[in-house]
Amino acid sequence: MSGGFVQALWRFPVLGMGGEPLRSSQIDARGLAGDRQHFAAGPEGQLSVHDLPELAEWRATFPFNPDGAIQTYNAPPFPVLHGPGDRTYRWGDPRLAHALERSLGRSIELVRDLDATRGVILTTVRHELDRAFAGVNVQLALELPARGGWAGADLIFRDGVRLKLVASRADGPGIEARVVEAGRIVLGEPVVLG
């Protein structure tokens, strides 16, 4: 068994935009509480940072519900969006649509999807290293096994959360996980790869 700890914990309220670091968060079968439950859409459907790289210039936060204050079984609040130049807009602010259109070069619709299940993405690489990791949620200080990789293994957190590692991601050194045992994840919490 390999051991490590939760090195960083991130929540991304709007898919494709920068997120916020956390000290703790609830997690269940739907994913990390409040994570990626909002997204940008166009006539072609949901848009990601691959469709609109300028989305990465924006950041979304839940400033009045920091860390573990959002529960997985309740709808999260509406996020606050921070645009280029650190201009701040509340979700639903009429100025937000104009600011996004100027920044992205096209009009989009902001969508709130509370029913979607968002997978948990784990990595041993720090978030700041690559904007392509916009979906990364939990970062671990664990060594990759010498042979066989992580797929199929369980990740067991000290306080009872258990994740089943499913498949490596094609867009970076991350791995998708399914929540087997729900609970709270805490920054610095010991974790064992079993």
- We report the CATH number of the domain holding residue 178 as 2.40.33
For residue 58, give Cα distances in angstroms to 23, 47, 95: 22, 14, 15
**DSSP category for residue 100:** H
Residue range 29-46, pLDDT digits in tens: 888 888 889 999 999 999
Band the pLDDT of 107: cuts 50, 70, 90.
very high
- pLDDT, residue 38, reads 94
Residue 190 has pLDDT above 60, yes or no: yes
Q: What is the arithmetic mean of pLDDT over 183-191?
A: 90
Task: Specify the number of domains making up the chain.
Answer: 1
Q: How far is residue 88's CA from residue 90's CA, in Å, rounded to a whole number? A: 7
For residues 126 and 144, the model is more confident at 144
Which residues form the domain of 84?
2-193
Instruction: Kindly report the pTM of this predicted structure.
Output: 0.84
Q: How far is residue 12's CA from residue 62's CA, in Å, rounded to a whole number? A: 10
Residue range 66-98, pLDDT digits in tens: 777 888 888 899 999 999 988 999 999 999 999
- pLDDT, residue 168, reads 63
* Percentage of the chain modeled with pLDDT above 90: 38
Nearest to 47 by CA among 121, 130, 107, 131: 107
Nearest to 123 by CA among 164, 56, 68, 176: 176
